[in-house]
A and B are shown apart, each in its own frame.
Chain A
Amino acid sequence: MENLIARYRNVSILAVMLFVQVLGLAIQVKRGGSGESTRLIRSWTVNAVTPLEKIIVWGQGGLGNLWNNYVYLRGVRQENRDLKFKIEQLQLQQVRLTDDAQQARRLQALLSFKEQYIAKTVAAQVIGSSGSEQSRSIYVDKGTANGVEKDMAVITAEGVVGKVLRAFGSTSQVLLINDQSSGVGAILDKSRLQGVVKGTSTGDVILENVMTDESVAAGERVVTSGGDQIFPKGLTVGTVMKVSPGADLFLNIRLTPSANLSRLEEVLVITKKEDRAPAVAEIGSRVRAVDILTQRLPSVPDKPVVEPVGGTAAGGSVAGLKPGNTVSVAPAAGTAAAAKPGVGNPRGNSETRATVKPVTVERPASAAKKVSEPMVKPGASAPAPPPPGKAKPAAEDQPH
């Protein structure tokens, strides 16, 4: 017997080692993919490897700065001239976009839209990767000590990078969007079709869950939809590279990620998001909701009309309108369409922008009464109009 054990000692040890590891794998798979059961060994390895990576990245950055900022300054004058020219162009563009943004905020405030704002970000440097082609993740030099937590979104100026998978003391592991276990709620920018952006085993990025009867063009931008509760809405994910019919009635849409995932150096971790509705007060100008609605919605008559009892303002009803106050509009059929550029107003967005301004013309009392009615939800019956003489005077709604 002893001879037998001695003879097969090596094979027995191999079998035991393999069995223990298979058992460990089975336990991890059964417990799910959170990785909490193996946190200790992961933490040890990361703490053993990342300090050296941080030192090298820090040294590399220092030397790079020294070279770029003090030694290699060839062509900087020309570049400076080009950049100044570009700034002038961008300033012109900014004026137009600010105007658009203000208009959008006003309309969102009217419709009580809640938006997710990126309230706080932490800049982090990429110090390493998983080192495996099957696990597409990176390590950044910010961790729980810097406010980074699990499931926070990671982005660059170009677009979405991934989400925080594990946060250690001073480092974090970020799962890239091209990993096969990742998923980002996304929407096609033009066609507004929703889907899920996922990675493949080969490191490509695809958009899933778009039906084959939909039309998707190559080159179309894909942005986050905000539905995953991780990435705020509207961040660029990538552009459609190739569309082909896939299995199970879904299109096979291949994307080119906006962020260069194979060469990341600095990223931003979104550490705080805020849900808030833009208020009219913060816009700056005291434009009243009724004025905007009057201008925007073609179905709102400019002249006094005799409304039947129980009728509501077209596109929604406005409650408690007072100059300078925040207003709330219950969306009714057609409101969203009217708020869309080029839908409510056939002239399109650019022309509409010029027409949105405080109205100074005197409005008849009947029109003021109409917009002063309490909020009525779609489908609900409107309350009875106030008795004669109790209606808010028309002058109250006029700008002073």
Chain B
Amino acid sequence: MPITYTSQEQVEVYRFSPPVTVGVPLLALFLQAFLPSRGHFFAFFDLPLLVVIFFAVARRSPVAGLLTGSVIGLLQDSLTHQPIGIYGIAKTVVGYGASSLGAKLDVDNVGARFLVTLFFYLVHQVVYVTVARGLVKLTVQLSWGHELGAALLNAATAAVLFTLLDRFKQRA
């Protein structure tokens, strides 16, 4: 398995230009809002989540990861009609977790990205459902078959998407 434990010095830390930092999350939000209206199949994807994982893993800073997650999550919340903060909390947790993992493990290859995305997609859904049920009293059903299918789909998408986004990386 290509996931390898690495020392802090061996792990590459990246940064991104301001246009990429702002533009990529906005583009992901736009596609997330636009594509499902053209076909219900696209509702299975969570592009903002993939962007959160990518930035968190590449920056390898837990604070940057959780801030990126919370901002993107809150913006995603504001497109729904539900109270703002459900996606925010879920993506904050994912951003923190992914960047903490990225700081310790080398997850820059396709296999590792697939597994990391698969894992964090499920974490995201569990946190989302917990918050939605526990705090907002929404009736949200967690179907494990459905979630696992969506997780696999998102993980496969992440493997391709992250390769494209690698072009915007700059060494810190």
Interface size of A as a range:
35 or more
Q: Are A38 and B78 neighbours in the complex by a CB distance under 8 Å?
A: yes
Chain A residues within 8 Å of B39, by CB: 262-263
Which residue of chain A has its CB nearest to the CB of B138? A134
Chain A residues within 8 Å of B76, by CB: 131-132
* Contact partner, B132, options A41, A134, A263, Cβ 8 Å: A134
How many Å from the CB of B99 to the closest CB on chain A? Answer: 9
User: Is B154 at the interface (CB under 8 A from chain A)?
Assistant: no
* Contact partner, A10, options B62, B70, B89, Cβ 8 Å: B62
Which residue of chain A has its CB nearest to the CB of B128? A134
Q: Are B79 and A46 neighbours in the complex by a CB distance under 8 Å?
A: yes
* Contact partner, A127, options B37, B75, B83, Cβ 8 Å: B37
Identify which of residues 121-172 in chain B touch chain A, using a CB-to-CB cut-off of 8 Å. Answer: 128, 131-132, 135-141
User: Is B24 at the interface (CB under 8 A from chain A)?
Assistant: no
Q: Are B81 and A45 neighbours in the complex by a CB distance under 8 Å?
A: no
Q: How far is the CA of A9 from the CA of B64 in the complex (A)?
A: 12
User: Is B5 at the interface (CB under 8 A from chain A)?
Assistant: no
Interface segment, one of A20-28, A113-121, A216-224, A277-285: A20-28
User: Is A181 at the interface (CB under 8 A from chain B)?
Assistant: yes
Q: How far is the CA of A202 from the CA of B143 in the complex (A)?
A: 10
User: Is A135 at the interface (CB under 8 A from chain B)?
Assistant: yes
Which of B39, B75, B93: most chain A Cβ within 10 A?
A: B75
Which residue of chain B has its CB nearest to the CB of A44? B78
Identify which of residues 1-60 in chain A touch chain B, using a CB-to-CB cut-off of 8 Å. Answer: 9-10, 13-14, 17-18, 21-22, 24-26, 28-29, 33, 35, 38, 41-42, 44-46, 48-49, 52-53, 56
Q: Are A134 and B140 neighbours in the complex by a CB distance under 8 Å?
A: yes
* Contact partner, B33, options A22, A49, A202, Cβ 8 Å: A49
User: Is B112 at the interface (CB under 8 A from chain A)?
Assistant: no
Q: How far is the CA of A173 from the CA of B33 in the complex (A)?
A: 12
Q: Are B136 and A29 neighbours in the complex by a CB distance under 8 Å?
A: yes
Q: How far is the CA of A134 from the CA of B124 in the complex (A)?
A: 14
User: Is A266 at the interface (CB under 8 A from chain B)?
Assistant: no
Identify which of residues 25-42 in chain B touch chain A, using a CB-to-CB cut-off of 8 Å. Answer: 26, 29-30, 32-40
How many Å from the CB of B167 to the closest CB on chain A? Answer: 22
* Contact partner, B36, options A13, A41, A56, A129, Cβ 8 Å: A129
Count how many chain B residues have C-beta atoms less than 8 Å from C-beta atoms of the other chain: 47
Q: Are B37 and A25 neighbours in the complex by a CB distance under 8 Å?
A: no
Q: Are A14 and B62 neighbours in the complex by a CB distance under 8 Å?
A: yes
Q: How far is the CA of A331 from the CA of B165 in the complex (A)?
A: 73
Chain B residues within 8 Å of A42, by CB: 78-79, 84
A56-B34 contact given A21-B92, A130-B79, CB 8 Å threshold: yes
How many Å from the CB of B57 to the closest CB on chain A? Answer: 15
Q: Are B70 and A17 neighbours in the complex by a CB distance under 8 Å?
A: yes
A21-B62 contact given A53-B34, A165-B81, CB 8 Å threshold: no
A26-B135 contact given A49-B29, A129-B36, A201-B140, CB 8 Å threshold: yes
How many Å from the CB of A170 to the closest CB on chain B? Answer: 16
Q: How far is the CA of A335 from the CA of B171 in the complex (A)?
A: 85
Chain B residues within 8 Å of A52, by CB: 30, 34
Q: Are B92 and A25 neighbours in the complex by a CB distance under 8 Å?
A: no
Identify which of residues 123-140 in chain A touch chain B, using a CB-to-CB cut-off of 8 Å. Answer: 126-135, 137-139
Not counting A14-B93, A128-B37, a sample of 16 additional A-B residue pairs whose C-beta atoms are within 8 angstroms of each other reads: A10-B100, A21-B74, A21-B92, A22-B89, A29-B83, A29-B137, A42-B84, A46-B79, A52-B30, A131-B36, A131-B79, A134-B80, A138-B37, A139-B33, A166-B81, A173-B81
Binding site for B on A (CB under 8 A): 9-10, 13-14, 17-18, 21-22, 24-26, 28-29, 33, 35, 38, 41-42, 44-46, 48-49, 52-53, 56, 126-135, 137-139, 165-166, 173, 175, 179-181, 200-202, 262-264
Chain A to chain B contacts (Cβ below 8 Å), 10 pairs: A25-B84, A25-B89, A28-B85, A29-B137, A49-B29, A49-B33, A49-B79, A130-B79, A131-B32, A165-B81
Across the A-B interface, give the 6 residue pairs with the lowest CB-CB distance, nearest first: A135-B80, A131-B32, A28-B83, A25-B85, A45-B78, A10-B62
